[in-house]
Amino acid sequence: MKLHEYQAKEIFAREGIPVPMGRIARNPREAFEISREIGSEVVLKAQVLVGGRGKAGGILFSSLEEVEEKSRKIFSTEIKGERPELILVEERLNSVKEFYLGITFDRSRGRPVVMTSSEGGVEIEEVARRSPEKITWVEVDPLKGIYPYMIRKLSRPFPKEVRKEAHEIIAKLYEIFVKYDAELAEINPLIYDGKKLVAADAVLNINDDSLFRQNFKREEEGIEGIASKEGFSYVTLDGEIAIIGNGAGLTMATLDAVEMEGGKAANFLDIGGGVPPEGMKKALEIVYMNEKAKLVLVNVFGGINRCDEIAQGIRMFFEERGGKLDKPLVVRLTGTNEEEGRRILEEIGIEVYKDLREAVKSAVRRVKNDTSL
């Protein structure tokens, strides 16, 4: 479960990590009133659960006079298919230097990994690719916790005058990571304003399996929220080919296959196992909501899921839309009852393949030759 930035910052502040002065606005007038209370230039930040909001115009700096106009613009901006319902209005920080601090659970190591970097404000993956020497990291035994010597090592990228403060923030973020059953806790950037360190951004992702003991209500928005309520794993991506698969491994392999053929995935949707026809129909309804997707690719290996039931769900969706789809549908079916599944789809004119590579090639080719869609 992803938390909004404002929710993560509320937790950070409660646990003793410095955050900028600010509050949530639900309309442009509220944004103006909050800005007037702050009394200085502000930053307006769309509260959405997808990435890339800065590039999409979801983060704007503003003077008091421009706040209503700029917040109105953010409220009307679609960010990867989602329109923000909330804006976080915060004081604009004076940034002397930006740092990175993050904690994630490394499944290959079976333990948390804590990272710091002297390069904040950019994705840590980009820093790792370009300048890996600028990342300091330690892995932590979850049964023993983080030791002071580890924190001292992680504090090295910070200026000497705030190293003690950095030490405290690292320790507190690790406490939050454990206390809230997090899969990811991140401050990027952690800003040094010449006097102190402040968490300019905040990310906190909670393990779904721990929600029974965490006091959080799901506040997922848009397509991801709808998919979550249906029990599907869904992630919005930047491409043009919407993908449905059964099982995380198969769905990821489908994304890779699309990438290898020169295409880009618009989403990741894993329907899981034992999905009835109604569930398949619902999965299609969800991916067809993605306005950026130009084509839908379904890849199902029939095991627990039966190919004939998957095909029945596709037929239900097709017939519900009067036999007309606004996005082409390409299906790869193999496994249990695949002959019956293929027969059902061929009867209604759906493009169906047995070989994944052939299905992917067809999907990518049709998207590239846009006129044929």
**40-51 pLDDT, tens per residue?**
899 999 999 888
Per-residue confidence (pLDDT) for residue 217, from 0 to 100: 57
Q: Which CATH superfamily is domain 21-91 in?
A: ATP-grasp fold, A domain (3.30.1490.20)
Q: In CATH terms, is domain 97-213 a member of 3.60.130.10?
A: no
Q: What was the pLDDT predicted at 105?
A: 94
Helices (H), 240-306: 248-260, 277-287
The predicted pLDDT at position 216 comes to 64
Select the CATH number that applies to the domain covering 222-372 from these four: 3.40.50.261, 1.10.10.10, 3.30.365.10, 3.40.50.880. Answer: 3.40.50.261
For residue 373, the model assigns a pLDDT of: 55
Measured in residues, the chain has a length of: 373
In whole angstroms, give the CA distance from residue 58 to residue 51: 10
What pLDDT score was predicted for residue 20?
Answer: 97
Beta-sheet strands, E only, within the chain: 22-25, 42-46, 59-62, 87-91, 97-106, 111-117, 135-139, 182-192, 197-199, 203-206, 233-236, 241-245, 267-270, 295-302, 329-335, 351-353
Catalytic residues, by residue number, are: 100, 186
Short-list 302, 303, 286, CA closest to 243: 286
Per-residue confidence (pLDDT) for residue 40, from 0 to 100: 86
Distance between CA atoms of residues 348 and 341, nearest Å:
11
- Contact by Cβ (8 Å): 17, 100: no
Whether the pTM exceeds 0.85: the reply is no
Domain spans of the chain, in order of start:
21-91, 97-213, 222-372
Do 222-372 and 97-213 have the same topology in CATH? no
pLDDT value of position 371: 52
- pLDDT values of the chain reduced to their tens digit, one per residue, 373 residues: 889 999 999 999 999 999 999 999 999 999 999 999 998 899 999 999 888 898 899 999 999 999 999 999 999 998 887 889 999 999 999 999 999 999 999 988 899 999 999 999 888 888 989 999 999 999 999 999 999 999 999 999 999 999 999 999 999 999 999 999 999 999 999 999 999 999 999 999 998 888 778 766 555 556 877 888 888 888 888 899 999 999 989 999 999 999 999 999 999 999 988 899 999 999 999 999 988 899 999 999 998 899 999 999 999 999 999 989 999 999 999 999 999 999 999 999 999 999 999 999 999 999 998 755 5
